[in-house]
């Protein structure tokens, strides 16, 4: 039984859209346990023949404020290295899930929360959402593939600006940068993500998986892996 991550299938016949829901109020801060549960859920959904696409959702208030700093600050150096491995495994599991994935973003997507959103194939956000590669504000660099994923999404120069400054980006700028794919009213984010994911429900699962693998293979060849 999981504590912070659950999967919910939309009603209907045949292959359906699943929601991978992160629920750790109030900010969905990411702990080692959350990452483990995320990795397990992504692996499980990837193996299900009755799931056609996946929406990653943090609830109607906030996607994720990033790493749980109180937990991180209690770790020894050895434990911190292991924690980074756990987080990287979770992000990779989501990125390599062999089905289309859409992040439905509300509230904030900051630091490691932004990295998690970048692991999805597409991102839909409310027009009031704030984004940021904010690790530097805590005296840290983005862990794992965070900076590389951001650079692939918006380009090296713009990614360096966000990573080096830690500044917040509103939804309109995020759309201009290419950080998100669609901006909608806050109360329609989840429905818009479902609609986006539903565009691929009728395509053969094995063909979609192969198409997605071709992108992941290209990213690894370019040095995008951990």
pTM given for the model: 0.92
The pLDDT tens digits of the residues spanning 204-215 come to 888 999 999 888
* pLDDT of the residue at 204: 87
Q: Tell me the CATH number for domain 5-217.
A: 3.90.226.10
Residues 6+ apart with CB under 8 A from 218: none
Residues 159-179 have a mean pLDDT of 97
* pLDDT of the residue at 220: 52
Nearest to 27 by CA among 51, 56, 73, 59: 59
Nearest to 106 by CA among 117, 95, 118: 117
**Contact status, residue 80 vs residue 45, Cβ threshold 8 Å:** no
Domain ranges in the chain are 5-217
Residues 195-200 have a mean pLDDT of 92
Residue whose pair of structure tokens reads 């996946």 in the numeric block:
54
**Contact status, residue 194 vs residue 187, Cβ threshold 8 Å:** no
Model confidence at 129, pLDDT cuts 50, 70, 90, reads very high
More confident residue, 224 or 15: 15
């Amino acid at each position: 039984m999981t504590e912070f991550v659950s999967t919910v299938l939309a009603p209907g016949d045949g292959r359906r859209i699943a929601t991978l829901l992160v629920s750790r109020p109030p900010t969905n801060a990411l702990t080692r346990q959350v990452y483990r549960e995320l990795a397990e859920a992504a692996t499980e959904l990837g193996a299900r023949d009755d799931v056609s696409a996946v929406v990653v959702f943090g609830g109607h208030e906030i996607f994720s404020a990033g790493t749980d700093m109180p937990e991180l600050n209690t770790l020894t150096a050895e434990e911190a290295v292991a924690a980074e491995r756990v987080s990287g495994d979770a992000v990779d599991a989501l990125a390599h899930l062999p089905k289309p994935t859409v992040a439905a973003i509300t509230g904030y997507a900051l630091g490691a929360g932004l990295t998690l959103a970048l692991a999805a194939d597409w991102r839909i956000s409310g027009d009031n959402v704030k984004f940021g590669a904010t690790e530097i504000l805590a005296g840290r660099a983005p862990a794992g593939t965070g900076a590389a994923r951001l650079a692939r999404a918006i380009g090296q120069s713009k990614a360096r600006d966000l990573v080096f400054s830690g500044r917040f980006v509103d939804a309109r700028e995020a759309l201009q940068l290419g950080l998100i794919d669609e901006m909608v009213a806050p109360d329609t984010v989840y429905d818009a993500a479902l609609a986006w994911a539903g565009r691929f429900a009728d395509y053969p699962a094995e063909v979609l998986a192969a198409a997605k693998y071709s992108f992941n293979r290209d990213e690894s060849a370019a040095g995008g892996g951990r």
